Amino acid sequence: MILSARNVSNREADRADHAELRLRISLTGLSADVVVIDCPNRQGGPLTLSALNAADTVVYAATATSDGIDGVEGARRTVAQFRRHRQ
């Protein structure tokens, strides 16, 4: 399990070439049935892009409020846009 934390937010400013691929590369060869990546709720941010590049599946977590629904809808748009750009 790879958890998000506030102290990794400084990675949001990392614009180095191919920074969005580091997580995927670091997981190469890992022997695990499931890897859970918790990333910040910043649609289109570098940490989110890195997690999407490394992920095979996305699970949306939210509170059962209108803000939670808005957050899931925004996250779905981000994933859809990411997938379109990858094609």
State pLDDT tens for residues 34-44.
888 887 666 66
* Spatial CA neighbour of 47 closest among 20, 77, 24, 76: 20
Residue 15, pLDDT score: 67
Instruction: Look up tokens 């939210």; give the residue.
Output: 62
C-alpha distances in Å from residue 64, one per residue of 16, 28, 57, 68: 37, 35, 22, 6
Residue 83's φ and ψ, nearest 5 degrees, are -65, -40
pTM score above 0.85:
no
Residue 84, pLDDT score: 92
Average pLDDT, the chain: 81
